[in-house]
Structure 1
Amino acid sequence: MTSAQKKLVALSFDDGPNTGTTVRMLDVLKKHDVKASFFVIGKNINEESAKVMMRAHNEGHDIENHSLTHASMPSLSADSVKREVEITTALIEKYTGEKPQFFRPPYIAVSKPMFDAVGLPFICGEGCNDWEPQVNADTRTERILASARDGLIYLLHDMPGNEQTVEAVDRIIPVLKERGFEFVTVRQLFKEKNINPAKGIVYSDILHAEEWK
């Protein structure tokens, strides 16, 4: 089967790293032999959480940029946007030895000037409202499974206390594998589908990306 014929999805997680949920998510991914992409917030990287981030990197997961402070960026100056991204990139490189290749804007809030200020392709994704505590693991599981399609990037969260997403991910992986899906990182998704990520494009489903107007 060629890459074009494969059904590929990418799991991605926002708002880590931390020594709780991120660790348990890594345990689930290791259990199922699945690689994912972690979009980290720079201010969350400290001596202890950096060890978790390094574990993720060493186990084959991609570490990507989700800003320094999780500020809504359209209201920031170009210099402030650059600072948010560059400091986080430097922290990621310091601990993993590798620069991030993608950026996910906080709140998926995007403005045209941001594309000039940020030297990375923008990645969004499709979620299940897993930042809302009232959305339980059963509902998260149902929503994730219902939205599955080739080329999809899932946008989930490994923020502290978000154990119901850990549970949902543990459930959905074997089901989607049974349905013929393969799990890859966001970087691998672009490579496998032979798509070169471009500036000015917001990617959620890489086969149906949209240009920002």
Structure 2
Amino acid sequence: MKNRNLYSIINGVLLVLILITIGLIGFTLYKPSQKASQSDKVKMSQTDKTEEDSSESSETSESSSESINPSQLMPGTNHNYHADSYAYSTSEIRSYMDGTATTDQKIVFLTFDDGPDTVITPQILDVLAQYQVPATFFLVGNNVTDETKSIIERQISEGHAIAAHSMSHNFNLLYPNRVGNTDQIVYEATQTQAVLKTYLGDDFQTNVFRYPGGHMSWTGLENADASLANLGISWMDWNTLAGDAEPLSKRPTTSEAMMQYIQSSTQYFHDTPIKVLLMHDIVGKELTLQTLPQIIQYYKDQGYTFGVLE
């Protein structure tokens, strides 16, 4: 009886030891599993964070992109955001015109001087919108007023470029005795810039200037050229013209005659596929307005693309 009780005690102790051993083994096996689970959670958390950051970055980028209106003025330029894709440096284009550089590109720049005009300019803009082509408008500062503010705003919003054409357009002030007056030229160029900023905002900046009458028409412009260049301003003439400002004896009187004038006028300039066409958008230039659709179609048929000057 005594031995039987001792045997029972021993079996009980062994059973307890076995159970304790099994428990320890199970706990040891379970702990790495827990660590792996925690590690996975960290990885998942990091992945979720990366995806979240990426999503936020994408949303911010999209939001930033959506906040830019293509028709708004591009700060520091003379055109809107959309026009940046077809805006060309004035000094570069001039180098093609004078033969110091060459290119195979066929680009035409429709340019209009002396505006804005409350009667003709809006109609010119209507035609350009209809044919979906841009132009560069060389404005006279004295014509930029409260009355024409909506016109120049439209020029920017519809993808055109704005350039300066002096304040006064007065040959006697700008070129006394046909010689350039540097102080007057620089003054009028900067004043035109200032008045344009008044109406278009401080973000507007045009670095394009056309001498009234054309650079080719006067002498002694070297100092004026250098002074304008120091201000970051480049001058631009033309190498094709519609003839709408020629003396009456030479001025075209029909659309057919104007088209012939445009095509023949290029013979007087350096041969290049780059064309800068001179026209005017003021009262008295109704024939230019009437012929403009034919002019645009002519260049399209010839394989030209249309650009603006900056």
- TM-score normalized by the length of structure 2: 0.55
Letter in 2 for 1:169: L
Structure 1 residue 41: Cα displacement: 0.2
Aligned residue in 1 for 2:74: none
Aligned residue in 2 for 1:45: 144
Change (3 A) 1:170 1:82: same
Structure 1 residue 22: Cα displacement: 0.6
Q: Is the 8 A contact 1:145 1:176 kept in 2?
A: no
Deviates more, 1:62-71 or 1:167-176: 167-176
CA deviations over 1:65-102 (Å, ceiling 9, x no partner): 00000022233643322221111011122222311121
Which of 275, 290, 303 lines up with 1:167 in the alignment? 290
Letter in 2 for 1:124: D
Aligned residue in 2 for 1:115: 225
**Superposed, which structure 2 residues align to 1:101-180 within 5 Å?**
101-108=207-214, 109-110=217-218, 111-118=221-228, 119=231, 120-125=233-238, 126-132=240-246, 134-136=251-253, 137-146=255-264, 150-180=273-303
Structure 1 residue 35: Cα displacement: 0.5
Counterpart-to-counterpart distance in 2, 1:54 and 1:83: 24
- TM-score normalized by the length of structure 1: 0.79
Q: Which runs of 5+ in 1 are unaligned?
A: 188-213
Q: Which runs of 5+ in 2 are unaligned?
A: 1-87, 89-102, 267-271
CA deviations over 1:45-82 (Å, ceiling 9, x no partner): 11111211111111110000000000222336433222
Structure 1 residue 37: Cα displacement: 0.1
The answer to which structure, 1 or 2, has the higher relative contact order (CA under 8 A, 6+ apart) is: 1
RMSD: 2.1
Which of 171, 183, 188 lines up with 1:84 in the alignment? 188
Normalized per residue, the structure richer in helix is: 2
Normalized per residue, the structure richer in strand is: 1
1:181 aligns with 2:181: no
Structure 1 residue 5: Cα displacement: 4.3
Counterpart-to-counterpart distance in 2, 1:70 and 1:79: 15
Aligned residue in 2 for 1:194: none
Letter in 1 for 2:163: E
Counterpart-to-counterpart distance in 1, 2:210 and 2:196: 14
